[in-house]
Chain A
Amino acid sequence: MDKVIDAQNIKYAYPTIEGTEPKLALRGVTLTVEQGQFIAVLGHNGSGKSTFAKHINVLLRAQEGTLTVVGLDTADETNVWDIRSHAGMVFQNPDNQLVSTVVEEDVAFGPENLGVPQEQLRDRVTEALRAVGMEGFEKRAPHMLSGGQKQRIAIAGVLAMHPDIIVFDEPTAMLDPQGRAEVMDTIRYLNKEEGKTIVLITHYMEEASEADRVFIMTDGVVTDEGTPREVFSHKEKLEQAGLLPPLATQVYYDLKEKGLELGLCPVTLKELVDELCRLA
């Protein structure tokens, strides 16, 4: 399969005030993502996960190492707009990424910037709003919508640019449980039905458990990677990263300690319930 994101040992330090020692936010990240994959990057605050996310659509540029996105080298200045049109990004705060006072105009903003011919714009907006389940909200004002709805409008705005990859930088961190569920449903749909490659930056274990592959970041490096089941079973590595396994996995370990071993290490609540039922 094609590697759509290929990061090799990338390093980045934020600019600092003169005289102070620059601290590396990324200390050599190596990570590859294949076409159509859903990956999650987990990490504690300050682990560099958001900094890495900003590299994927060249909001930041690696100071060392190489990063290619859809085969384009991010170090090449001329590729910037091309890469951004292939790799969209959804940010944490829905309020700070909507540009327009009308939903449909906001969704059209991205494709307008790409210079999509006027007669196709309307279709792109309709199609994107349908994909996120927000059809019928075309004329509404974003500030009258709920957090989850606003975030889905932001996703539609990215989707209307027809990207191959969508990077989500903690998209649910500011939402209530219902909004969180809406956004996760949308992400799942985009991956399964529309075949988008998804990079989900998060610190919620439950969200990461839905991914095909999980990467754990600690202090600017990837310390563990694998399927959710593999990663969540590496208890010590998770602890080092300052993370706790999801509830289902936690229960599995607690039961094991008490002498009851389930057949399979569960990562979601549903799996846990299934395993427990099998015991009876």
Chain B
Amino acid sequence: MLKNITLGQYFPGDTVVHRLDPRIKILVALLFLVAVFVVRTMWGFLALALLFTLIIALAKIGPVTILRSIRPLLFIIIFTFVLNILFYSGQTIYWQWGFLTISKEGIEKAVFIAIRLVLLIVATSLLTLTTSPMQLTDGMESLLSPLKKIKFPVHEMAMMMSIAMRFIPTLVEETDRIMKAQTARGAEFDSGNLLKKAKNMIPLLVPLFVGAFKRADELALAMESRCYHGDEGRTRMKVLHLKRMDVWALILMLAVSILFMVFL
């Protein structure tokens, strides 16, 4: 079961959306985020929702997958929704109890913000569902590369990110192994109150961390012996190439988003 964990929430596929250059996708996702904040009317939200639905359909992502990506943040959405209803003081009041008021404006505001949050999540999920973590890192590295001029360690950060992704499954497997080993020795991981539970984690975390440091040490040696010495003089097998398709996608999305932002 642990062998099958996916990294991030990448949904493999071979559609137009999947094939787009990761840099373009990152830029478009940013553009969408701005659009979601700038658009002020329900018509604007509807237009954006339609646009996102179109892209989801193009990427052949099932509606269930999209809904699943909203689930972890459902609590925050409901929480802000309730807060907005109860604490927004509007003109047309339906119900009042102390400082809690339910007003027409409050409900409107709450619905507005809830939709905005959902659209934000969908916009970012569109990026992470159709772009592998590796591509995302490469895209980020490429987009941030101008920062190298001011000595910002762009390459090092991208390398760290990709190594972290490489080791997630390895460490998950190790956690599983240590847990079984400690359970065999009588350790309990899911009994007692919160404090007890936290204490119970110590025999799991200590060996996990010691192991991780040992791995890091060995990996550093292995990388050094394969002549890794930073970004300088390094070539890449996979270089990101902008295709005509990418440019058109960017122009089209830019035009549509600006249209929405200006008129809706």
Contacts and interface: CB of A to CB of B under 8 A. Distances in A.
Interface of A: 54, 57, 59, 81, 84-85, 88-89, 91, 93, 95-102, 104-105, 108-118, 121-122, 125, 141-144, 157-158, 161
B229 interface: yes
B219 to A, nearest CB: 5
B163 A105 contact: no
B155 to A, nearest CB: 12
Contact of A157 (B163, B226, B237): B226
Nearest to B165: A101
A112 B237 contact: yes
B contacts with A: majority SS: helix
B226 A113 contact: yes
A22 to B, nearest CB: 20
Contact of B225 (A57, A98, A111, A116): A57
B90 interface: no
5 contacts: A81-B229, A84-B225, A91-B222, A98-B166, A101-B165
Interface string B221-244: 111111111000111111100000
Which 5 A-B residue pairs are closest in the complex by CB-CB distance?
A: A97-B222, A96-B218, A121-B237, A108-B237, A143-B169
B200 interface: no
Contacts, number: 93
A125 B7 CA distance: 24
Interface of B: 3, 7, 133-134, 162-163, 165-166, 169-170, 173, 215, 218-219, 221-229, 233-239
Contacts of A96: 215, 218-219, 222
Nearest to A102: B134
Given A95-B170, A97-B222, A101-B134, A112 B235 contact: yes
Given A57-B225, A110-B227, A118-B235, A93 B218 contact: yes
Nearest to B222: A97
Given A117-B235, A144-B3, A100 B166 contact: yes
A108 to B, nearest CB: 4
Contact of B162 (A101, A117, A142): A101
A230 to B, nearest CB: 32
B3 to A, nearest CB: 6
Indicate the member of A105, A111, A122 with the most B CB atoms within 10 Å.
A105
Contacts of B170: 95, 143
A102 B233 CA distance: 22
Given A96-B218, A112-B234, A105 B134 contact: yes
A100 B162 contact: yes
Contacts of A117: 235
B133 to A, nearest CB: 7
Contacts of B229: 81, 113
B235 A110 contact: no
A100 B170 CA distance: 12
A144 to B, nearest CB: 6
Contacts of B173: 143
Contact of A118 (B3, B133, B228, B236): B236
B169 to A, nearest CB: 4
A101 B5 CA distance: 13
